[in-house]
Amino acid sequence: MSASDPTQPSADRALDFFRGRFDLDDGSLAAALDTALERQVDYADLYFEYTTTDSVSLEEGIVKSGDRHLEQGVGVRAVRGERQGYAHSDEISVESARLAAGTARAIADETRPHAPVALTTGAGGHDLYSIATAPTDVPVATKVDWLNEIDAYARAKSPKVSQVMASVVCQNKHTLVAASDGTRVADVLPLVRVNVQVLAADGSRREVGYQGAGGRFELETLREPARWQGLVDEAVRIALLNLEAEACPAGAMDVVLGPGWPGILLHEAIGHGLEGDFNRKKTSAFSDKMGQRVAAEGVTVVDDGTIPGRRGSINVDDEGTPSKRNVLIENGVLVGYMQDRLNAELMGVEPTGNGRRESYAHLPLPRMTNTFMLAGEDDPQDILAGVEDWLYAVSFGGGQVDITSGKFVFSASEAYRIEGGRIGRPVKGATLIGNGPDVLTRVTQIGHDLALDEGVGTCGKDGQGVPVGVGLPTIRVNELTVGGTEG
Amino acid sequence: MSASQAEMENVVRHALEAAGRAGASQADVLLVEGDDREVRVRGDEIEFVKQAQERGLGIRALVDGKEGRQTSIVSTSDLAPDAVARMAEEAVALARATAPDPTAGLPEGGFATDLPDLGLCDPADRNVALDARIEDAKRAEAAARDFDARIDNSEGSQASSGYARVVYGNSQGFVGSYESASHGLFAEPLAREGDSMQRDYWMTSARRLADLEDAATVGRKAAARAIRRLGGKRVETCEVPVIFDGMTAPSLIGQVASCVSGYSVYRESTFLGDKLGESIAASAVTIVDDGRLPGGLGSKPFDGEGQPTRRNVIVQDGTLQTWLLDAYSGRKLDLPSTGSAARGTGSAPRVGTTNLWLEPGDKTLDELIGELDRGLVVTELIGMGFNPTTGDYSRGAAGLWVENGEVVHPVEEITIAGNLGDMLKSIDRIGSELVWRGRTASPPVRIAAMTVAGE
């Protein structure tokens, strides 16, 4: 695999891989699709996947384990109306695809004559992450040495650092989609990630600080000393800061969100609610709000799968549709949903390149890629200066949303009181809760400092995790409920 | 022993031999074969039918280093003999690239010798037709819809049946296997009234189809929960008693269990790290993890390292009695394994719970509500706002507001916050209903005071 020519686009390298290793030529793919099409189905597709993942982790100053996993298989889907039949096998072969097709087509009873499938190369895919060395081909020894450097550097930062846990996770995923409409698209998706967690202790008090980074690029990018040392500096700083943090206030208050990772607000508050499946079924709090004002003037939110090298980026989605830059909210007005093929078809719109799945063992669903708010014109310092009291939150852990009621939460991992327009004392992480359809109407200022996150986000839906990105400029949101303990 | 089981055990033995030949001083192998079916019905329409057969093989190889053993884990779904042999060699090479760890190693002994029949699988269920499960989902959908005119939509009802055969063997001579099944039914209807739209769910899950709650009951209970959320509103920020119902209380018990894992103890990342033998909860609190509960969804005859599963009383009358340990975390703390190793094919053993529960008290949820002057019943939690290192707790919640012993309106868009250490000590009521819907169960629990953040 490492012998592949990096000057070739991912699509061509992946196609060569599946042909060379598993004899998946167009004729045999078409034959497997024909098995599904013998029944009265609207559409059928095959999704082949071959993924190598390795991870090396360190704790207590010892690189204790190395892991390497191979995940391979094929998922076959037959679609009729709203009905989907799905079967998958952990063997990559035309025969296993045919067998799975025989199972998947069981959603339709009637047989029918059909024209043979003629596969053609899908057009318009991107080439956002072609790299010379797959991260899974970087020698384990290199990763081990690097983790030891991270450990030593973190421990030297402060005597209060009592534990360091770090890991490097590398993935190389080959995919191939073949569909009854003739689509045939392949891709190679590299993904790297480094995680640094430190435990700081002071007397009986202990706090954790975490920082990670990643994306679809060479592992070397992260191994630049300035880059990884910056991550370790952050993890240590957050742990030490939390040692000093006071209890967080509780209640509705004006909140300033810092740039970058706080964009998880968008992901939870509006992103999921704008996924096509929920809107087609009208189970989302955003159903029937198309064309209406759902955010303050000046708020524009996009989901963009086409940013080179980002964790949430994809050349094509897992149904073979090229990824796009989709505007969801334009100047406060809802203008777009995110769609996979099934829901786009049923809603009579075009797919938007958001049909994603965790693996060959999962059905595709409308999913986000990189979701962020465009920059405004306000100076971040002025935004803070305008707030007399309450909360400035700059980093967050996870979040969750109830798409039907629209209520969403996200949990701060670094936050401060704002005291007279200035950043004051650090406060303990607290969960913020709001209502998706109206929270963005209370955005009163938007900074010029848009930043994307460091590349560690994973979104869960229906039990499927996919890598995503978020981004935000500094913004002020009035009247958000903060779940602290101090009255 | 079925032919397939014998074949699987042979694959495991072959992999162990291959690891030994490649230079591993110790090795263990986990092989899992699964057969899963899943259907979702929405309204009268089938949304999807999913069927799969899957298998996975994981090899953990340990090689002797200067000051301890070096470890690797390699996994694949390719069980061909040459592929397994290649994988064993890869595992040994990978292990050599890691650092020696003086604590690493398989359990020295104590492997399970009795493999009791825990009622994990009913052979008769094997023949259940997919159509029967589709019918279950349809009945749950119909019962939800017929429950109330305000139920006008749904996210669907999902039925699943899965079978797995697990074989584990190691270079200490242990090879064991068991079969298990799990069946489930889940309904998630939507209720609408005016501008308010709410969803909620109810589910049932069991080892035997016959033990599932009736499909129509699942639909009706889900519908009743969705209806009762209509018109939810925020409340003023306040400090009040909070009752976690039987759907939300299990998450609290699960958080306690995660904080007594041997790994979080030796990593100093649990607020309970120095509390062994001390009182950590109200005296009415007894928390048990039992891997041999007959028919339990977390039951298994041996753990992820071949150690016999057993009954571990984690908290007895409020006192912390034990950590949950596998061989590695036990060695770190100079204690024997508690049979708590959990393991997937692609991961090293870690500590997990089996069937975990809080012992019930004697009052029903209705009686607990009747005794409440002013407070909150939490029926759903969202978000991950729990810090195991400090015990700090802050999560999004929805539920019911109670005044003078009566539910007065549904509540939403609020958070509840406190510290798990304080919350455990201030449990002042425990309900009587203990219903298993998964591997963790709890009766309703009342915490004397938490901060509710709203308006």
Please state at what angle helix B81-97 crosses helix A140-157, rounded to 10 degrees: 30
Residue numbers in A near B153 (CB within 8 A): 281-283
CA atoms of A485 and B419, how far apart (whole Å): 9
> Would you say A384 and A392 are in contact if contact means Cβ atoms under 8 Å apart?
yes
Q: Which residue in A272, A107, A358 sits closest to B155, CA to CA?
A: A272
CA gap B210, B150 in Å, rounded: 31
> ipTM of the assembly?
0.94
A124 phi and psi, to 5 degrees? 85, 10
pLDDT of B247 > 90? The answer is yes
Residue A167 to residue A55: CA distance in whole angstroms: 7
Residue A93 burial (CB < 10 Å; 0-12/13-18/19+)? middle
pLDDT value for B339: 98
Measure the CA–CA gap between B116 and A444, rounded to whole angstroms: 65
pLDDT-above-90 percentage for chain B: 93
B319-320 and A250-257 strand pairing: unpaired
Res A116: pLDDT: 83
Question: Inter-chain contact B153–A433, Cβ cutoff 8 Å?
Answer: no
pLDDT digits (tens, 9 = 90+) for A346-375: 999 999 999 999 999 999 999 999 999 999
Give the pLDDT score at A111.
83
What integer pLDDT is reported at residue A105 of this predicted model?
87
- DSSP letter for each residue of A291-344: TSB-S-TT--EEEETTSTT-TT--SB-TTSPBP-EEEEEETTEE---B--HHHH
pLDDT in tens, B383-402: 989 999 999 999 999 999 99
- State the pLDDT confidence band at B160, using cuts at 50, 70 and 90: very high
Q: Which of B75, B94, B417 faces A66 most closely, judged by CB atoms?
A: B94
Q: Tell me whether residues A431 and B104 touch, CB distance under 8 A.
A: no
Give the one of A68, A87, A482 whose C-beta lies nearest to B453's C-beta.
Answer: A482
Q: Do B51 and A410 touch (CB under 8 A)?
A: no
Answer yes or no: do B197 and A405 touch at CB < 8 A. Answer: yes
* Spatial CA neighbour of A397 closest among A449, A435, A453, A358: A453
Kindly list the residues from chain B whose CB atom is less than 8 angstroms away from the CB atom of residue A431.
Answer: 383, 385, 394-396, 415, 417
Mean pLDDT on A93-109 = 87
Mean residue pLDDT of chain B comes to 96
Distance of CA B227 to the CA centre of its chain: 28
Per the structure block, which two tokens stand in for A186?
Answer: 């392949």
How many Cβ contacts (< 8 angstroms) between chains A and B?
Answer: 248
CA–CA distance, B443 with B433 (Å, rounded to integer): 5
Task: Say yes or no for a CB contact (<8 Å) between A404 and B190.
Answer: yes
pLDDT band at A46 (very low <50, low <70, confident <90, very high): very high
Which residues in B253-363 belong to E strands, given as ranges?
287-290, 311-316, 319-320, 341-342, 350-351, 356-358
| A481 close to B414: Cβ distance less than 8 angstroms | yes
Which chain A residues contact residue B455 at CB under 8 A? 251-252, 481
* Residue A232 CA: distances (Å) to CA of A149, A194, A216, A224, B93: 11, 10, 21, 13, 30
Residue A6 is predicted with a pLDDT of: 55
Cross-chain residue pair B48–A84, CB shorter than 8 Å: yes
- Interval A223-235 mean pLDDT: 97
Tokens 């050599």 appear where? B96
Q: Is B123 exposed, middle or buried (0-12, 13-18, 19+ CB in 10 A)?
A: exposed
**Is the Cβ pair A73, B77 closer than 8 Å?**
yes
Residue of B nearest to A398 (CA): B384
CB B267 within 8 A of CB B292: no
Tell me the pTM.
Answer: 0.95
Q: B197 and A397: CB-CB below 8 Å?
A: no
Whether residue A3 is predicted with pLDDT greater than 50 in this model: the reply is: no
Q: Give Cα separations from A481 to A276, A317, B400 (angstroms).
A: 28, 36, 18
Contact A89 B52 (CB under 8 A): yes
The nearest alpha carbon in chain A to B155 belongs to A283
Cβ-proximal residues to A27 (8 Å cutoff; 6+ apart), any chain: none
Q: Are strands B238-244 and B374-382 parallel, antiparallel or unpaired?
A: parallel
Cβ pair B382:A482 closer than 8 A: no
Instruction: End-to-end CA distance of chain B: give it in Å, rounded.
Output: 63
Confidence of residue A5 (pLDDT cuts 50, 70, 90): low
Q: A485 contacts in B (CB within 8 Å)?
A: 394, 417-419, 451
Asked whether the beta carbons of B382 and A409 are under 8 A apart, the reply is yes
Q: Over 60: is that where the pLDDT of A109 sits?
A: yes
> Is the per-residue pLDDT at B273 higher than 90?
yes
Looking at residues B267-293, what average pLDDT do you find? 97
Specify the pLDDT at position A120.
84
- Token representation of residue B94: 């990978």
pLDDT in the model for residue A389: 84
Q: pLDDT band at A390, cuts 50/70/90?
A: confident
What is the nearest CA distance from B97 to chain A, expressed in angstroms?
6
Amino acid letter for position B159: A
In DSSP terms, B244 is beta-bridged to B378, B445
Residue of chain A whose Cα is closest to the Cα of B267 = A163
Best to test chain B binding among A283, A365, A410, A432 (most B CBs inside 10 Å): A283
Q: What mean pLDDT is predicted for residues B194-200?
A: 93
Please write the tens of the pLDDT for every residue from A293-337.
Answer: 999 999 999 999 999 999 999 999 999 999 999 999 999 999 999
DSSP A271: I
Q: Which residues contact A225 (CB under 8 A, 6 or more apart)?
A: none
Q: Which residue has the higher pLDDT, A124 or B334?
A: B334
* Per-residue pLDDT at A144 exceeds 50: yes
> Are B47 and A363 an interchain contact pair (Cβ–Cβ within 8 Å)?
no
Q: B296 CA to chain A: closest CA distance, Å?
A: 23
Query: Smallest Cβ distance to A59: which of B49, B95, B267?
Result: B267
Q: Measured between beta carbons, which residues in chain B are less than 8 angstroms from residue A484?
A: 394, 417, 451, 453
Of residues A177, A190, A178, the one with CA closest to residue A127: A190
Contact A487 B199 (CB under 8 A): no
Nearest CA in chain B to A435: B413
> Is it the case that residue B279 has pLDDT exceeding 60?
yes
- A59 with B451: Cβ contact below 8 A: no
Please report the pLDDT score of residue A487 as a whole number: 67
Say yes or no to pLDDT of B1 above 50: no
Please give the pLDDT value at position A123: 60
Which residues in chain B are closer than 8 Å to A199, comparing Cβ atoms? 267-269, 389
pLDDT tens digits, B329-364: 999 999 999 999 999 999 899 999 999 999 999 999
| Single-letter residue type at A253 | M
What was the pLDDT predicted at A397?
A: 84
**Whole-angstrom Cα distance, residue A360 to residue B194?**
41
- At B105-139, the pLDDT tens digits run 999 999 999 899 999 999 999 888 889 999 999 99
Distance CA A170, CA B147 (A): 50
d(CA B20, CA B22): 5
% pLDDT > 70, chain A: 98
**How far is the alpha carbon of B290 from chain A, nearest alpha carbon, in Å?**
27
**A165–B455: do the CB atoms touch at under 8 Å?**
no
Task: Give the chain B residue nearest A141 (alpha carbons).
Answer: B97
Chain-chain contact of A433 with B95 (C-beta, under 8 angstroms):
no
